[in-house]
A and B are shown apart, each in its own frame.
Chain A
Amino acid sequence: MPTVEISHISKSFGSTRAVDDVSFRVEKGEIFGLLGPNGAGKTTTIRIILDIFKPDSGQVSVLDGSLDETKKNRIGYLPEERGLYKDQKLETVLLYLGTLKGMEMSAANERLGEWLHRFDLYQHRHKKVQELSRGMQQKAQIIATLLHEPDLIIVDEPFLGLDPVNTRLIKEIIEEQRFAGRTIIMSTHQMYQVEALCNRIVLVNHGRTVLYGEVEQIKRDFAGNAVVIEGQGDFSDLPGVLQTRRENSDWHLALQPGTNPQDVFRALAAREGIKIERFEIAEPSLDDIFISVVKGDDEVEGVDNG
């Protein structure tokens, strides 16, 4: 039984279709990436899962059925719009949020101490939230998400505003939670984090599912959609290429779906002032796939609309 199952959900706000026939399953104990560009419908989808919004159509199953008040205690949510009671002491706020999730005060107190130590916030526990730095507040919010040991963790941009040390810490914690058997839905724009952490992903664009499956399988499917070139000359504005970027001495070209690397090679050969030392079909990064799919989808949208 999947922890979360979304079946053909749609949601409109006035004339804007925020989510359009999206379906996916999140299995127990996996880290699931919910990806998409800004305005794609990710947050709306999360809010539908959490019953903040009702879908216009489609079915949502969370923790084996529809979401009720008891199940809310089994969910930890880190929203993109972060917020804590600023004029109150950190410890007071976190204990309050923990007890609202059904924890006993004594248990919340004990567990909070451990988390505060781990996040290096213990000595700041009596400070008002507004006196803490942005990064500290971000860490406090993550504690509030995990304090009650939820079965389902939904984190929207968990690495936002964190330095590399804390980013690594959060990454470790997310992995720990997975090992502990908890299910995690993670929405982020940091593709290398998705690549490192997620088992499976869904990519939504314009409210629709454009990619869904296992990360490794998706990468295999997209092999050939990117090439790496070493050489001299201008490698930009090639036909069939969505994006060209330089990494050290290499050029990485993300190809439009349907574009054959041989066509790119021919186009390069025909271009003046180009010297190619290496031309290699690359396994695309998730970043490349993201750009390839989203830009390709946008172009199709543009053609459709035009």
Chain B
Amino acid sequence: MGKLWLVAKREFLLRVSRRTFLVTTFAVPLGFAALIAVGVFIAIKSAEKRPVGYVDNSGVLDPAIVPSLNEIDDTVEIRVYQDVSVAQIDLESGDIQAYFVLPEDYRRSQQVAVYYWEEKPGDDAWEAFNNFLRVNLLAGLPEDRRQRVLEEPEWTVRSVDGRRQVTAGIGILNLILPFIASFIFYLSVMTSGGYLLQAIADEKENRTIEVMVTSLTPEQLIGGKTAGLLAVVLTQLTVWIITIVIALITAATMLESFPTLSVPWSFLLVVALYLLPTFVLIAGIMTAIGVMVTEAKQGNQIAGVINLAFMAPWFLSAMIFTNPDHPVLVILTMIPFSAFLTTAMRWSITAIPAWQLIVSWLLLVASAGFSLWGSARIFRLGMLRYGKQFSLRTALGALRNRRSWIKSGGRPSEVS
């Protein structure tokens, strides 16, 4: 354990001190923060606060009946005009951003005409007039019924088996989260897998492997490197999550119209359960590739193809949103390579049956264990093959239970 820890510590310190780590870790949240800031800036800038007017030919509206502050927080003033021509003059002079005209037969037609100059009235203007209209229309109703209509409906959708429910307000987050998760997954986990490949190939290229294996076991070496890089991933995730939380709190404070968000704990639990074994699976595969190639550059090309396998569910986003229980997606949920992303993306759209989750997670954990075990075997066989290609057949030979192969250490690069 001590040596594993030493390897992990070195790997962690080595990676976090690299410029690429600093750029990836801090550029992403900075970019995200900049995006939020631009959004907030545009929203504030574009908020049109000039008054709106209305001409009531139907006699429905009473200027005295206005929404109370606790009912609706309107910031746009509503002006009453007796004559359209006066309202038109104010509109043309820019005193008001628009005016609404209720025809005489409004109660029957329920049509309102809106007049504006060049630009449509802003959201706040629409909202203010709508609220004013609603308050007036409900004026004759008993208080309790009036309140029910005035308050926004709060809906909750539950799955038939009662395992999942979606409440208004977190719908958008549900749709965005899988994409954020897959982006973070790609950027962090796959990049770290690439680091591991690089680290193993470096040991070979640097010819340090022979000294290393006479100091510790291959399991300690690979395990230590994997643990160190996992720590790198977790550090990166922590920085990003903190940034996202700060950005969301800031946005919610500055934007009144920002939707209410609640933490999707179930989603986060699924991500946490799938992330670790997925990382181990990637680590094992990248280690094996690192051992098999002659130089890191060659390994990176193969790793690109492996990355595609892990990111495949992304290309089926349309199917996930329209038909999340399609058999193809059920299969992708079961395949360890695509399990994490498919589950994360389906989670937001559908209630994944429990058996699928259990089977998929167990398969993922089993394949992660196999990947680590297999990579250690391939490592033992390929570590001393300096500058020599390691065929897939040889690798498969190492994975099969052929003790003599492992005992012989394969054919070395040089017999001297």
Contact = CB atoms under 8 A, between A and B. Distances in A.
B206 A84 contact: yes
B206 A72 contact: no
Contacts of B44: none
B416 A43 contact: yes
B6 A100 contact: yes
11 contacts: A13-B411, A38-B416, A40-B416, A43-B415, A52-B409, A82-B207, A84-B208, A85-B202, A85-B208, A86-B206, A100-B215
- Sort chain B's interface into a size bin: 20 to 34
Contact of A83 (B6, B210, B415): B210
A75 interface: yes
Contacts of A38: 416
A83 B416 contact: no
A1 B194 CA distance: 48
Interface of B: 3, 6-7, 10, 14, 202, 206-217, 384, 386, 406-412, 414-416
A11 B415 CA distance: 11
A242 interface: no
Nearest to B416: A43
Contacts of B386: 81
Contact of B412 (A44, A86, A88): A44
B210 A11 contact: no
A56 interface: yes
A77 to B, nearest CB: 5
Interface string A1-37: 0000000000111101010000000000000000000
Nearest to B18: A87
A183 to B, nearest CB: 16
B10 A41 contact: no
A15 to B, nearest CB: 10
B207 A18 contact: no
A96 B416 contact: no
A57 to B, nearest CB: 11
Contact of B415 (A39, A73, A82): A39
Contact of B210 (A18, A81, A97): A81
Nearest to B383: A52
Nearest to A73: B215
A218 interface: no
Contact of A88 (B14, B210, B410): B14
A77 B406 CA distance: 22
A80 B414 CA distance: 11
Contacts of B14: 88
B210 A52 contact: yes
A56 B409 CA distance: 11
A16 B407 contact: no
Contacts of A18: 415
B285 to A, nearest CB: 24
Given A50-B214, A72-B214, A81-B386, A13 B207 contact: no
Contacts of B217: 69
A178 interface: no
Nearest to A17: B415
A252 interface: no
Contact of B206 (A54, A85, A96, A99): A85
Contacts of A54: 406-409
Nearest to A93: B208
A47 B384 CA distance: 10
Contacts of B206: 83-86
A42 interface: yes
A83 B211 contact: yes
B216 A72 contact: yes
A91 to B, nearest CB: 13
B416 A80 contact: yes
A222 to B, nearest CB: 25
Contacts of B202: 85
Given A41-B415, A44-B415, A52-B213, A100 B409 contact: no
Contact of B216 (A40, A79, A100): A100
Nearest to B412: A13
Interface in A43-60: 43-44, 47, 50, 52-54, 56
A14 B411 CA distance: 7
Contact of A52 (B3, B208, B214, B216): B214
Most chain-B CB neighbours within 10 Å: which of A39, A50, A52, A75?
A: A52
A43 B210 CA distance: 12
Nearest to A96: B10
A220 B209 CA distance: 42
A52 B415 contact: no
Contacts of A85: 202, 206, 208
B109 to A, nearest CB: 78
Nearest to B204: A83
A101 interface: yes
A144 interface: yes
Given A52-B213, A54-B409, A96 B415 contact: no
Nearest to B213: A52
A38 B416 CA distance: 5
A233 to B, nearest CB: 39
Given A54-B407, A56-B407, A85-B206, A44 B416 contact: yes
A77 B213 CA distance: 11
Nearest to B10: A96
Nearest to A69: B217
A72 B215 contact: yes
A60 B250 CA distance: 68
A9 B366 CA distance: 39
A86 B205 CA distance: 10
B297 to A, nearest CB: 15
B408 A53 contact: yes
Nearest to B216: A100
